[in-house]
Amino acid sequence: MESAVQIVRRASSSFPSPRAAPTACATGKPTPMLARLPSHACAEVVWASTPSPAACRCVASHLFRMMPKSEPEKMEPDPIANRSERSHQSVNLDVDMGPECHRGPFPCQSADGLIAERVLREDGRMADTRSPALPITVITVVRNGARTIEGAIESVLAQSCRPLEYIVVDGCSTDGTLDILRRYGGRVRWTSMPDDGLYDAMNRGIARVLEPDTYIHFLNADDRFAANDSLERALADSGGADFVYGRLERRDDALRYTDVVGQPVDRPALLFGTRIAHQAILCKRSVFDRVGGFRTEYRIAADYDWLLRVFEDPGITTRFVPVVVASMGFGGVSWERFPALARERFRIVRRHYAFPDVVRFSVYTVFGDYLRHYLQRVLRRLHLLNFARALKQSLRRDA
């Protein structure tokens, strides 16, 4: 592959000129002919690995001006333009310069302008203007999940975004989970050791992520991504925010029912029923450095406590993306142990909110969460839960 210096040399020597043909010294600095080119654009094309189109046009226009006007027909075609396959790193000098290209030089952007647009560094080198791929690590915590873990692994490995790292934190499974993990070799990083519960295992997974700008996503062993490009689409809309959250599909396989939840929230909304499932969250490692990990004193609702700490910190940027990130089944530990969950949430609210809000939360929990939970249990026993959910969705659409 030709270097940028060779490309400029080829382009500038492809026409006869009374001036000396350009050469480069051992240090790589431009020789007399290249010295006549605009310094900022020449420096960019010579030393940058991926010069901007603006600098390429600038150099090309000045090379065009150096051509002897009496012999324009002797200009040989640029061999670069005849290549059928180009590396994405090659400098594109055969830019379509439009109808004005034969009537005079192009208006060349100044060095200050290029620096202001962050395509040229102060030292004259080209800045990388391509959007870097955002690294992401998916963490799955599992214990005795042989029945579902393989589906989760396949869902993660099928994701289109790269670079992608997958970490499985196993709690000493005895049902064949480890045999499944071994089959995937180096595609899955995993560890197996005793832990102090779900949130302790999640903290262990976080500790294995070292880069502060890496996005972390938690996917349970029985959950799946909603689509193969779920993470890619969520990150594309993230705007580089520290804490990104989207939507979640909930499914009841027994009743063949699904719905989608997720909306923009703020700290007051988190007090009254609005929840963000961790399966819909993409969070930078640096956020855990700021607010800490999951408090293991909470056995069921530690993620709720962590969410409140995130939204209390003004230095953390949050962003909602209208993307269905993952799919999970109804139920789970918190659903099966709802009374214990409500008590933990009450302790967390007392820790984060003022007394009037604690009272309001208590009233809402008694007349909201408890009644809704037990009503759903009754409807399920009467085989009317699916009908009630369909009616609820119909009323929402009409509203």
| Exposed / middle / buried, residue 71 (Cβ in 10 Å: 0-12, 13-18, 19+) | exposed
Q: What is the pLDDT of residue 104?
A: 34
Tell me the C-alpha distance between 297 and 344, whole Å. Answer: 10
217-230: average pLDDT: 95
Tell me, what's the pLDDT at 290?
Answer: 97
Tokens of residue 126, six digits:
């080209």
- What are 124-181's pLDDT values in tens digits? 555 444 345 789 999 999 999 999 999 999 999 999 998 999 999 999 999 999 999 9
What average pLDDT score do residues 353-359 get? 91
Average pLDDT over residues 280-288: 97
In a 3-state reduction of DSSP, which class is residue 105?
Answer: coil
* pLDDT above 60: residue 185: yes
Model confidence at 364, pLDDT cuts 50, 70, 90, reads confident
Average pLDDT score over the chain = 74
| Distance (Å, whole) CA 270 – CA 308 | 8
pLDDT in tens, 204-222: 999 999 999 999 999 999 9
Angstrom distance (rounded) from CA 92 to CA 102: 19
Q: What are phi and psi for residue 134, nearest 5 degrees?
A: -80, 120
On whether the CB atoms of residues 120 and 149 are closer than 8 A, the answer is no
Checking if the pLDDT of 287 tops 60, the result is: yes
pLDDT interval class at 327 (50, 70, 90): very high
**Who's near 290: CB < 8 A, 6+ residues apart?**
313, 315, 316
SS3 24: strand
pLDDT exceeds 50 at position 83: no
Per the CB < 8 A criterion, the answer to whether 235 and 165 are in contact is no
Domain regions of the chain by residue span: 4-116, 136-330
State how far the Cα of 27 lies from the Cα of 25, in Å rounded to an integer: 5
Check: CATH 3.90.550.10 for 136-330?
Answer: yes
- The span from the CA of 316 to the CA of 338, in Å, is 31
> Quick one: pLDDT band at residue 285, thresholds 50, 70, 90?
very high
Higher pLDDT, 326 or 370: 326
pLDDT at 329: 81
- Cα 175 to Cα 292: distance, rounded to the nearest angstrom: 33
Q: Strand 164-170 to strand 189-192: parallel, antiparallel, or no bridges (unpaired)?
A: parallel
Mean pLDDT for 65-94 is 40
Over residues 251-259, mean pLDDT: 70
Round to whole Å and give the CA distance between 65 and 62: 5
In the predicted structure, residue 247 carries a pLDDT above the cut 70:
yes
Per-residue pLDDT at 274: 66
Amino acid 139: pLDDT: 98
Separation of alpha carbons 303 and 308, rounded Å:
9
Element (H, E) at 288: helix 285-291
Higher-scoring residue by pLDDT: 383, 200: 200
Average pLDDT for 184-209: 95
Q: For position 390, what pLDDT does the model report?
A: 72
- In 3D space, the residue among 27, 50, 22 whose CA is nearest the CA of residue 37 turns out to be 22
Kindly give, in sequence order, each residue whose CB lies less than 8 Å from that of residue 17, ignoring residues fewer than 6 positions away: 66, 67, 68
**Mean pLDDT of the 224-243 span:** 95
Kindly state the tokens that stand for 354. Answer: 């003022």
Alpha carbon 11 to chain centroid, angstroms: 40
Alpha helix ranges (H) inside 128-248: 149-157, 177-183, 198-207, 230-236
Pairing of the two strands 136-142 and 215-218 = parallel
Among residues 255, 243, 280, which one has the least CA distance to residue 387? 255
Q: What is the DSSP string of 228-283?
A: TTHHHHHHHTSTT-SEEEEEEEEEETTTTEEEEE-----HHHHHTT----GGGEEE
Which pLDDT score, from 0 to 100, does residue 225 have? 97
Q: How far apart are CA 338 and CA 334, in angstroms?
A: 6
DSSP characters for 155-180? Answer: HHHT---SSEEEEEEE----SSHHHH
CA distances from 42 to 21, 119, 263 (A): 16, 14, 50
pLDDT per position as a tens digit, 95-138: 333 333 333 333 344 445 444 434 444 555 554 443 457 899 99
More confident site: 372 or 198: 198
pLDDT of the residue at 132: 53
pLDDT at site 8: 44
**pTM of the full structure:** 0.63
| Angle formed at CA 247 by CA 290 and CA 132, multiple of 5 degrees | 60
